[in-house]
A and B are shown apart, each in its own frame.
Chain A
Amino acid sequence: MPSRVGVVTFPGSLDDVDAQRAVATAGGEPVPLWHGDADLRGVDAVVLPGGFSYGDYLRCGAIARFSPVMGAVSDAARAGMPVLGICNGFQILCESHLLPGALTRNAGLHFVCRDQRLRIENSGTAWTSAYAPGQQIVVPLKSGEGRYVADARTLRELDDAGRVVARYLDSNPNGSLGDIAGVSNAAGNVVGVMPHPEHAIDRLTGPSTDGLGFFASLLAAVVAA
Chain B
Amino acid sequence: MTEPLTDQPYSELGLEEEEYLRIRAVLGRRPTATELAMYAVMWSEHCSYKSSRVHLRRLAATARPGAPLLAGMGDNAGVVDVGGGLAVTFKVESHNHPSFVEPYQGAATGVGGIVRDILAMGARPVAVMDSLRFGPADAPDTARVLPGVVGGVAGYGNCLGLPNIGGEVGFDPSYAGNPLVNALCLGVLRHEQLQRAAATGEGNAVVLLGAKTGRDGIGGVSVLASATFVGEEGGAGRGVGRAQLPSVQVGDPFTEKVLVECCLELFAGDLVVGVQDLGGAGLTCALSETSAAGGVGMRVALERVPLREASMAPHEVLVSESQERMLAVVRPAAVAEVLDVCSRWGVPATVVGEVTATERLIVTWHGKTVCDVPPASLADEGPVYERPLSRPADQDLLVADEPTARRLPRPRTGAELQATLLRMLASPELCARSWVTDQYDRYVRGNTALAQPEDAGVVRLDEDSGLGVALALDGNGRFARLDPYAGTQLALAEAWRNVAVTGARPLAVTDCLNFGSPEDPAVMWQFAEAVRGLADGCAALEVPVTGGNVSFYNSTGATAINPTPVVGVLGVLDDVTRRTPMGFATEGETLLLLGATGEEFGGSAWAHVEHGHLGGRPPRVDLAAERLLAQLLFVGSRDGLLSAAHDLSEGGLAQALVESCLRGGRGARVVLPAELDPFVALFAESAARVVVAVAPAAEPRFIGLCVARGVPVTRLGVVGGDALDVEGILRVPLTELRAAYEGTLPGLFG
Contacts and interface: CB of A to CB of B under 8 A. Distances in A.
B158 interface: yes
B254 A57 contact: yes
B345 A11 contact: yes
Contacts of A14: 159-161, 257, 444-445
Contacts, number: 88
Given A204-B449, A205-B460, A113 B441 contact: yes
- Interface size for chain B: under 10, 10 to 19, 20 to 34, or 35 or more residues? 35 or more
A205 B447 contact: yes
A12 B254 contact: yes
Contact of A142 (B252, B255, B441, B460): B441
B439 A111 contact: yes
A198 interface: yes
A167 interface: no
Contacts of B345: 11
A196 B158 CA distance: 15
A205 B448 contact: yes
Contacts of B151: 110
B258 interface: yes
A118 to B, nearest CB: 16
B448 A112 contact: no
A14 B125 CA distance: 13
Contacts of A56: 159, 254
Interface string B434-476: 0001111111111111000000000010010000000000000
B559 to A, nearest CB: 33
A96 B255 CA distance: 24
A206 B253 CA distance: 25
Contacts of A202: 446
A124 interface: no
A43 to B, nearest CB: 21
Interface in A155-206: 196, 198-199, 202, 204-206
Interface string A94-125: 00000000000000101111100000000000
A142 B61 CA distance: 43
Contacts of A199: 443, 446
B577 interface: yes
A111 B154 contact: yes
B184 interface: no
A15 B344 CA distance: 20
A168 to B, nearest CB: 15
Contacts of B154: 110-111
Contact of A11 (B158, B346, B439, B444): B346
A219 to B, nearest CB: 19
B576 interface: yes
A15 B444 contact: yes
B252 A55 contact: yes
A54 B159 CA distance: 10
A18 B446 contact: yes
A110 B445 contact: no
B445 A17 contact: yes
A89 interface: no
A56 B253 CA distance: 11
Given A12-B159, A55-B253, A112 B444 contact: no
A205 B460 CA distance: 9
Contact of A204 (B255, B346, B444, B576): B576
Contacts of B158: 52, 111, 142, 144
Interface centre among A11, A15, A18, A51 (most CB of B within 10 A): A11
A61 to B, nearest CB: 14
Given A12-B159, A17-B445, A21-B446, A112 B438 contact: yes
Interface in B402-447: 437-447
Which one of B254, B346, B437 has the highest number of Cβ atoms from chain A below 10 Å of its Cβ? Answer: B254
Given A12-B258, A55-B159, A111-B154, A206 B443 contact: yes
A89 to B, nearest CB: 14
A202 B254 CA distance: 29
Contacts of B444: 14-15, 18, 50, 142
A140 interface: yes
Nearest to A144: B158
Nearest to B435: A110
Interface centre among B160, B344, B444 (most CB of A within 10 A): B444
A205 B443 contact: yes
Nearest to A14: B161
Interface string A8-20: 0001101101100
A4 B542 CA distance: 50
Nearest to A11: B258
A51 B344 CA distance: 19
A134 B24 CA distance: 78
B346 A112 contact: no
Nearest to B579: A204
B439 A198 contact: no
B159 A140 contact: no
Contacts of B463: 21
Given A11-B257, A113-B437, 14 more contacts: A11-B258, A11-B261, A11-B345, A12-B254, A14-B444, A14-B445, A18-B443, A36-B344, A50-B444, A55-B253, A55-B255, A111-B441, A113-B438, A205-B446
8 nearest A-B pairs in the assembled complex, by CB-CB distance? A55-B254, A14-B161, A18-B446, A199-B443, A111-B439, A52-B159, A142-B441, A140-B443
22 contacts: A11-B345, A12-B257, A14-B160, A14-B161, A14-B257, A15-B446, A18-B445, A21-B463, A36-B344, A52-B159, A52-B257, A54-B254, A57-B254, A111-B158, A111-B439, A112-B439, A113-B439, A114-B438, A142-B444, A204-B449, A204-B460, A204-B576
